[in-house]
Amino acid sequence: MDAVAIAQLLQGLVPGCGAEPVAAGDQPTVTVSPEHIAVVAAALRDHPDLRFTLPIDIVGVDLLPREPRFEVNYHLVSPDRPQPIRLRVKVWLPGAAPHLPTVSAVWPACNFLEREVWDLLGVVFDGHPDPRRLLTPEDWEGHPLRKDYPVQIKLPVKTESPIQLTPEQFRANIEHDRHGRGGAGA
């Protein structure tokens, strides 16, 4: 099944979803409107001609300075066939308010994938059951995969030992740990 057939089927199943095929050489790819992603996800999972029951990944992309700024890609597999089919579903979001309905009720495996995209890129998944940070500490400010994230942080170094040791310093530290004597870089 190619992207054109999948987009046409989705347009019939979810009127107004804006499903359109996208030229991509590696696998069928369709775009859908953000507000319909949860209904489209259920149709992709439940329709007997589709059966995309396996979400592989959700990837967020910051396309700054382009608008819409964010792209969220859902990578899916329909495994219950003689030859499994892969599908990429793209959703474009504005930079000012990147919100999407959660698909974690359709595919529970997307729970952590959505948390990762929110944590690193700042895309909010409305209705998500556990919208906490996943990879950064709870007190982290901002979203580090955004292209406008400030990377030149002026903080003092919080280590008291050298990061790089010569072979001699390494041996001396090992000897210190074994025998309680002073070592290089200690």
Mean pLDDT of 163-177: 78
Q: How far is residue 101's CA from residue 126's CA, in Å, rounded to a whole number?
A: 5
Angle, to 10 degrees, between the axis of helix 3-13 and the axis of helix 37-46? 110
Domains (range + CATH), the chain: 3-140 (3.30.460.80)
Please return the burial class of 158, using the count of CB atoms within 10 Å of its CB with bins 0-12, 13-18 and 19+. Answer: exposed
48-101 per-position pLDDT tens digit: 999 999 999 999 999 999 999 999 999 999 999 899 999 999 999 999 989 999
Q: What is the pLDDT of residue 153?
A: 62
